Structure 1
Amino acid sequence: MPPRGKFSGRRGSVRGRGGKSGRGNAKRSYGGVQKFDNTRLEEVEESGSEMSEEVSSSDEHESEASISDVEETPATTQPYMALMQSLEKDSASSTAPNAKRRKLDHQPPSAEVPSTAEEEKEDSSDDEEHDADLVEELEEEPANEIDLEDNDDDEDTPDATDPFETHFVNPDNTEYSTRLKGIQSSVYQPKQLERNGWRVLRSTPGQDSDQTSQPPATLSGPSSLKLKHRLIETASKLRPTFDKLEQIMYPITFGYQDLLFCGRSASNSESLRRMACLHAVNHVFKTRDRVIKNNAKLAREGETTDFEPRDQGFTRPKVLMILPTREAAVKAVNAICAVYEPDQQENRKRFDESYIDREVKFSSDKSADFRELFEGNDDDMFRIGIKFTRKTIKYFAQFYNSDILIASPLGLRMAIGSEGDKKKMDYDFLSSIEVVVVDHADALLNQNWEHVEYIFEHLNRQPREAHGCDFSRVREWYLDNQAENFRQTVVFSAFNTPELSELHRRGKNWAGRVRVQPEYNGMIQELGPVKAKQTYSRFEAPSIADEPDARFTYFTSAIIPSLIKLAGRKSSSSGADAGGGGTLIFIPSYLDFVRVRNYFSTSDAVESVSFGAISEYADVREASRARSHFLSGRHKVLLYTERSHHFRRYVIAGVRRVIMYGLPDNPIFYREIVGGFLSKSEQDMCLEPGRGSARVVFSKYDVLKLERVVGSKRVGKMIRERGDMFDFI
């Protein structure tokens, strides 16, 4: 299966082949970024009936792309609405409060109302996207008629035990000041715990931080969460009780602490997704309902009131979900609908047509993690805004009118724009993000991690334009440019890497950060029936900057000579040796791959060693030819990269020995390559049972990878002991 979308290294990027989805429809232009008038949160909601939305095209950027994946369909004023508004105006009671209106440019009276067929055609079009300014006419309902939906959990008295209140609304000033000083001076108090078989490392900012104020260590079920009333029943129905992992994860997530979870798998992904979506919807509802409640209070008390609520950010979007594929977006949307159970879903048909691919692509012989990631629509170029109204979810909302933004790193970066064109850049819609969820982060590492870093660099910046913001309602910590100290970042990954650790470390959440990871038994114990001698060779590197050069030097001086000796042997009749053929060299980094490939191409030392190569940039024909020559013995050595295995999961035949230039980030790859490839060779009778071997090169900077492969109990000795050779059978 060829990789879909953007093959891009962590230190560079190269455009790969598009799949049948055309990389998010190649006919689109994503060069520009749209500017929208921000509609205040309290004006958008609960007006008794859906108000019409009018979109006026901007002459300046008429051909530029929209900020949302698919634009909202421009709406014209309906004759029925005009009639009802005129009747309401004539029959308005003298005691009713005046409705507030926003100044707007009306369409000409002669504007024609598009037919239903034309509207559906425009709704389903992904080829034409215009740069437009959203202009809405919004009318507030009389204060005594505003529906707060659930009055039983909207009391004026705040709940002091609700993390939403203590983190965003009424934080303890003394504790916050202490922790803010700790963040500024990079002083954290770490505390490591063992909970239900998981290692939990909690770091709280500040020298003398009181960790007794943290949420309880475990929760038994949804009844212990501080949920909006309308979510309690649904959450309890979906998950009456929590398992051991959920008992750890829910208090951290709903306590608004930064979380890095390093144990994501195909089996627990649904549980994690449900938790993240429940948290996101709960946060949106608490934010929105507080604004509506304060609107009602202001309307009741009139202009003479001294009540001055601070309940908003600069812009409306509050939750950002960064996902790898459109299929992942579908799963997130379904999880949101499951916890909310909306009465109506606007533009759902458009969403299904754009995001769902029901074609069965892979057989059951592919691993579960591969099928979970690449089954369905694996396009990695998308962005969509989701807006909540009364018992309704609206998809493809304008970003500045959305509550939740769901996007891939590539899609969102193109929406933000390039630093080289300041005029077209727009990141103001990220200024008030309060919860970020990064799911399947290990898959994002194999796309282009620089996009993720770029997005986080533009989160919670002060907006360059007002976007209709009512600054009298903006929370003070937004005005003080401290929004990043309140933002929660939740990252789910199958394993930890230096990139994820750095992202987690750079978080400035005043509530602290928590890393949860398992105790590893070691993938070397899960190779299946094959028995192979596994030799681990440690080399020394003076610094992490010098590590690539030290690795290459060790490889050419310690590994290549033995490989040349094998190549000089004659093939045995049993095929056990095959004249040194059947050697697969696994190389994690593409930059290292290029270096090794050039060495085999130009060095006189390996002139007698024929080789082939399969990288993430090799097309199907090139990869098939390399595999065929390797199996036939024409190529004695095959160079194979980690990302090519990530995107294709080849089962390579004819492997008799494996040399790992470096360990893979994903420990499953070790099992599939060392265990799976050698096992297939034994089954194909081209390798005698027990004659396969693996040679692994590692340094002390590979400690995270090494732990996952050899186990948590062995890794310390292998890094610290004086010996540099370790054998496993």
Structure 2
Amino acid sequence: MDKANSPKTRLLTLLNVSAAKSTKRKRIFDEQSPRKLNKRREVSFSGSVDTREPEVSSQEEEPEVQTEESQPTDGEGDEEAEDEDLTAVEDTKDPYEQHFGAESSALSEAAKEAADAKEWTNSVVTHRKLGAVALSLPSGSSSPDWPGDWSSALLDRLKEPFHERQKKLRQEQRELQDDVLSTLSTYRDIYDPRTSLDIAPHTREAIALHALNHVSKKRRRVLKNNERLAHANKAGTPLPENVQDQGFTRPSVLILLPFRSSALKWLDALTAHTPSPHWQVENQARFRREFGLPEGVVDKLASAEPGTYPQDHVETFKGNVDDNFRVGIKLTRKSVRLFSEFYGSDIILASPLGLRMSIEKEKNSDFLSSIEMLVVDQIDALTMQNWEHVQFVFSHLNQLPKESHDTDFSRIKPWYLDGNAAYLRQTVLLSAYETPETRSLYNVQLKNVAGKLRTIRQCAPVQVPEGIDQNFMHFDCVNLKDEPNKRFNYFTTEILPAVMKSAVQSTNTAIFISSSFDFIRIQNHFRKMGYSFTVLSEYSSNQDISRARQAFFTGKKAFLLISERFHFYRRYKIRGIRNLIFYGAPDHPQFYTELLSFPFLDEDVEASDVTCRVLYSRYDWFRMERIAGTKGAAQLIKQT
């Protein structure tokens, strides 16, 4: 590694710059000022030591309901310690202490090297409701056994209300939550690409509970050490040395979501574990106003007759579907404060787009330097947005900060100072299905030395109208970089010429295209060749959509190009289709079934009147598995 760019060199630079910039900074342990231990404006129990106005704020800049400028430090004011059994944080068997303690038992040079080299020991195990799981451990890891004992790891103040909520659930739902929590308690990474609509709310509630437990334990540790330092300073005894309990900045949990409606669901899941009268949710009315639908607006999806829209479409798009948002959440002993400044927050709810715009505007992502738990929910929806935003956020996680933010470096955990935070961060990835992008994220970006696991499922073939002949057409490709060009060449030299020679197939033909890049490429080719066609894309206006559908149905246009994103966002039923060509199999398997059912919207259409071609290569495994089933896809891929 280049010495100039090593974590130690950058950290020393940061310390030097911080010392030069701060001329008004008070000594952390002033013997004459026992009440000014770790002094800063922002009340904090998770390790933040910011004394200035934050550089990056949440999207809305409306003033807080309560002013915090003059509030005292961690453990004072509304954060006093008497409500907690602070001796409990000394439990060295606590999974939190084992993994995130100052001397993490999971972190070792051998485990780090194995994670960097992608040298994982893999095994397949089965665990109740989670089913088959691929468990990956780096060599040299001393992580705890799986599954863990989540009940003993949960704080009593969170355990009791959760058990009361579980009593209202069915047995299989309780077991699912228990299994998720037992896995989370080991602080391993989790990748679940089979998060269906029926299990998503229960999984979300379990993860929210784990996140709250994590933040609360971090607070308890800081309060305990504040108390020890205050007593030592007052008694004039030597200050304790083992007080490393913080990161560079306060935020420790980041939850990435596609829509504001998703953030509303996560807020409900988080506050379900913080019931009143012991907890108060501040600025909740504002949150619901800005993250819900405007007053007087009727949600056509939620109010439509059952069956009008597919259920997955209703659950995804009902409510506020704005994809540009970020909001900080601060937890205190008695409240959940929404719209807190990022550097004064414990949890950040954000969309990848909203977070990226904030980082690029402020040219600073230091608030992501100490993220210890990352949740990425509804990844299937995020892939239909802009995947580069997700990659951008991941590239800014757990980096050494550019500024000190008046941090008390004597309180920072050693592995933060060594630049090892990424090796301990727990990441949870949730999706309805798997894509190469999400698998790459799991394989490349997740380096948790405690290990990581991925749920496995066997797919059955999707149901299509009986009698339709499905023609799966493979093309040879041995290099992933050549795949787009190989696909385009095969389509334009083999499939299209055959279609144009047929009087039946050269009209009423819909071409479904998954990739936006391929969609533009095919559109340009059709325009160049002078074919009669129209398009339905995610950028089509309502007027454009109406014209395109009418022109295709009446036969004025022979071809209809449909992008997968258009169908994802709009979910229109399209009439006039007799021939279907899938330039690539759709990511969403139900789209395949829906499109094959559209020809039968017209009267007197027989299955023999419908043709279907699916173009694929060996790199389409995930998509083909969801359509043809695991066994069927294996046979098809072998042909390549």
Paired residue for 1:702? 620
Q: Structure 1 residues 368 and 135, CA, compared in 2 at 3 Å: closer, same or farther?
A: same
Paired residue for 1:484? 422
Where do 1:224-235 residues align within 5 Å? 224-235=151-162
Give the residue type in structure 1 aligned to 2:523. Answer: R
Paired residue for 1:642? 564
Instruction: Give the one of 591, 597, 614 matched to 2:536.
Output: 614
The answer (yes or no) to whether the contact 1:55–1:74 under 8 Å persists in 2 is: no
Paired residue for 1:310? 244
Q: Structure 1 residues 673 and 245, CA, compared in 2 at 3 Å: closer, same or farther?
A: farther
Where do 1:205-224 residues align within 5 Å? 205-206=138-139, 209=141, 213-216=144-147, 224=151
Paired residue for 2:354? 411
The answer (yes or no) to whether the contact 1:530–1:690 under 8 Å persists in 2 is: no
**Is 1:341 matched up with 2:267?**
no
**Is 1:169 matched up with 2:101?**
yes
Structure in which a larger fraction of residues adopt helix: 2
Secondary structure of 1:353 counterpart: helix
How many residues align? The count is 582
**Is 1:447 matched up with 2:365?**
no
Instruction: Give the one of 326, 336, 340 matched to 1:397.
Output: 340
Rounded to whole Å, the distance in 1 between the matches of 2:482 and 2:636 is 20
Rounded to whole Å, the distance in 2 between the matches of 1:350 and 1:327 is 14
The answer (yes or no) to whether the contact 1:431–1:462 under 8 Å persists in 2 is: yes
Rounded to whole Å, the distance in 2 between the matches of 1:435 and 1:557 is 49
Q: Structure 1 residues 174 and 697, CA, compared in 2 at 3 Å: closer, same or farther?
A: closer
**Is 1:252 matched up with 2:199?**
no
Rounded to whole Å, the distance in 2 between the matches of 1:708 and 1:331 is 28
**Is 1:204 matched up with 2:122?**
no
Deviates more, 1:341-350 or 1:241-250: 241-250
Paired residue for 1:560? 496
Paired residue for 1:630? 552
Q: Structure 1 residues 693 and 296, CA, compared in 2 at 3 Å: closer, same or farther?
A: same
**Is 1:158 matched up with 2:158?**
no
The answer (yes or no) to whether the contact 1:662–1:698 under 8 Å persists in 2 is: yes
Paired residue for 2:521? 595
The answer (yes or no) to whether the contact 2:122–2:134 under 8 Å persists in 1 is: yes
Q: Which runs of 5+ in 2 are unaligned?
A: 1-24, 26-36
Paired residue for 2:262? 328
**Is 1:261 matched up with 2:197?**
no
Instruction: Give the one of 212, 217, 220 matched to 1:286.
Output: 217
Give the residue type in structure 2 aligned to 1:511. Answer: A
What's the CA shift for 1:313? 0.6
Q: Structure 1 residues 337 and 190, CA, compared in 2 at 3 Å: closer, same or farther?
A: same
Give the residue type in structure 1 aligned to 2:166. Answer: R
Rounded to whole Å, the distance in 2 between the matches of 1:637 and 1:686 is 21
The answer (yes or no) to whether the contact 2:422–2:447 under 8 Å persists in 1 is: yes
What's the CA shift for 1:359? 2.5
Paired residue for 1:575? none
Deviates more, 1:347-356 or 1:328-337: 347-356
What's the CA shift for 1:185? 2.8
Give the residue type in structure 2 aligned to 1:71. Answer: E
Secondary structure of 2:453 counterpart: strand
Where do 1:529-544 residues align within 5 Å? 529-544=465-480
Instruction: Give the one of 187, 204, 227 matched to 1:296.
Output: 227
Give the residue type in structure 1 aligned to 2:272. Answer: A
The answer (yes or no) to whether the contact 1:41–1:288 under 8 Å persists in 2 is: no
Give the residue type in structure 2 aligned to 1:239. Answer: Q
Secondary structure of 1:339 counterpart: coil
Give the residue type in structure 1 aligned to 2:238. Answer: T
Q: Structure 1 residues 492 and 633, CA, compared in 2 at 3 Å: closer, same or farther?
A: same
Paired residue for 1:31? none
The answer (yes or no) to whether the contact 1:42–1:288 under 8 Å persists in 2 is: no
Rounded to whole Å, the distance in 1 between the matches of 2:39 and 2:627 is 50
Secondary structure of 2:231 counterpart: helix
Secondary structure of 1:379 counterpart: coil
Rounded to whole Å, the distance in 1 between the matches of 2:571 and 2:286 is 32
What's the CA shift for 1:247? 4.8
Where do 1:337-486 residues align within 5 Å? 337-342=271-276, 343-357=279-293, 359-362=298-301, 363=304, 364=306, 365-417=308-360, 424-486=362-424
Paired residue for 1:5? none
Secondary structure of 1:315 counterpart: coil
Secondary structure of 1:304 counterpart: coil
What's the CA shift for 1:55? 9.2
Paired residue for 1:129? none
CA displacement 1:387-413 (0-9 Å, x = unmatched): 111221111101100010001111100
The answer (yes or no) to whether the contact 2:384–2:565 under 8 Å persists in 1 is: yes
CA displacement 1:642-675 (0-9 Å, x = unmatched): 011111111101111211000111112112112x
Paired residue for 2:633? 715
Q: Which has more radius of gyration?
A: 1
The answer (yes or no) to whether the contact 1:383–1:407 under 8 Å persists in 2 is: yes
What's the CA shift for 1:297? 2.0
Rounded to whole Å, the distance in 2 between the matches of 1:292 and 1:463 is 24
Where do 1:30-109 residues align within 5 Å? 67-73=57-63
The answer (yes or no) to whether the contact 1:347–1:395 under 8 Å persists in 2 is: yes
**TM-score normalised to structure 2 length:** 0.85
The answer (yes or no) to whether the contact 1:146–1:296 under 8 Å persists in 2 is: no
Rounded to whole Å, the distance in 2 between the matches of 1:562 and 1:383 is 51
Rounded to whole Å, the distance in 1 between the matches of 2:340 and 2:497 is 62
What's the CA shift for 1:635? 1.3
The answer (yes or no) to whether the contact 1:264–1:495 under 8 Å persists in 2 is: yes
Secondary structure of 1:330 counterpart: helix
**TM-score normalised to structure 1 length:** 0.75
Q: Structure 1 residues 182 and 313, CA, compared in 2 at 3 Å: closer, same or farther?
A: same
Rounded to whole Å, the distance in 2 between the matches of 1:172 and 1:74 is 37
Q: Structure 1 residues 76 and 192, CA, compared in 2 at 3 Å: closer, same or farther?
A: closer
CA displacement 1:152-198 (0-9 Å, x = unmatched): x74253141x2211111165658633311212332111112344473
Rounded to whole Å, the distance in 2 between the matches of 1:619 and 1:645 is 14
Paired residue for 1:518? 457
Give the residue type in structure 2 aligned to 1:407. Answer: A
The answer (yes or no) to whether the contact 1:614–1:639 under 8 Å persists in 2 is: yes
What's the CA shift for 1:580? 4.2
**Is 1:656 matched up with 2:578?**
yes
**Is 1:586 matched up with 2:512?**
yes
Give the residue type in structure 1 aligned to 2:509. Answer: T
CA displacement 1:66-110 (0-9 Å, x = unmatched): 621222516898xxxxxxxxxxxxxxxxxxxxxxxxxxxxxxxxx
Give the residue type in structure 2 aligned to 1:660. Answer: F
RMSD (Å) for aligned C-alpha atoms: 2.8
The answer (yes or no) to whether the contact 1:42–1:295 under 8 Å persists in 2 is: no
What's the CA shift for 1:452? 1.0
Where do 1:11-26 residues align within 5 Å? none
CA displacement 1:652-703 (0-9 Å, x = unmatched): 01111211000111112112112x31332xxx21522443221101000001
The answer (yes or no) to whether the contact 1:55–1:75 under 8 Å persists in 2 is: no
Rounded to whole Å, the distance in 2 between the matches of 1:55 and 1:649 is 49
**Is 1:149 matched up with 2:83?**
yes
Secondary structure of 2:272 counterpart: helix
Give the residue type in structure 2 aligned to 1:150. Answer: E
Secondary structure of 1:711 counterpart: helix
Give the residue type in structure 2 aligned to 1:679. Answer: F
The answer (yes or no) to whether the contact 1:319–1:434 under 8 Å persists in 2 is: yes
